[in-house]
Amino acid sequence: EAQVTQNPRYLITVTGKKLTVTCSQNMNHEYMSWYRQDPGLGLRQIYYSMNVEVTDKGDVPEGYKVSRKEKRNFPLILESPSPNQTSLYFCASSQTRNRDIQYFGAGTRLSVL
């Protein structure tokens, strides 16, 4: 089954404790992206990756890092989480030639205390 898998689904942490949210897709997609969803704001792009070792900032990259060492994986790293990063996070992937149609993971709800 074609899918985008995020882990963990729920995470509560404290300010300053480094964390990683993993994202994996099994569709051999070149393009992957991270979004955060906040009430009344829709989804905003954090980072994206056009292919292995090619990443770039989205609209709200501050406080986040990403890496793309393998095609299927695109982890999101919070080096020093802060309460304003409490949000619902989504990973998405798509084919390069059809980036409009993105496939989303089920989401990771993060609370930073």
Binding site for another protein (CB under 8 A): 4, 31, 40-45, 48, 50, 56, 58-59, 90, 92, 99-102, 104-107
Which distant-in-sequence residues (6+ apart) come within 8 Å of 45 by Cβ? Answer: 33, 34, 35, 58, 59, 60
Between residues 30 and 65, which has the closer beta carbon with respect to another protein? 30
- Between 48 and 64, name the residue whose CB sits nearer to another protein: 48
Joined tokens for residue 4: 């985008």
What's the min distance (Å) between Cβ of 47 and another protein?
Answer: 10
Give the whole-angstrom CA distance, residue 6 versus residue 90. 8
Q: Work out how close the CB of 69 gets to another protein at its nearest, in angstroms, rounded to a whole number.
A: 21
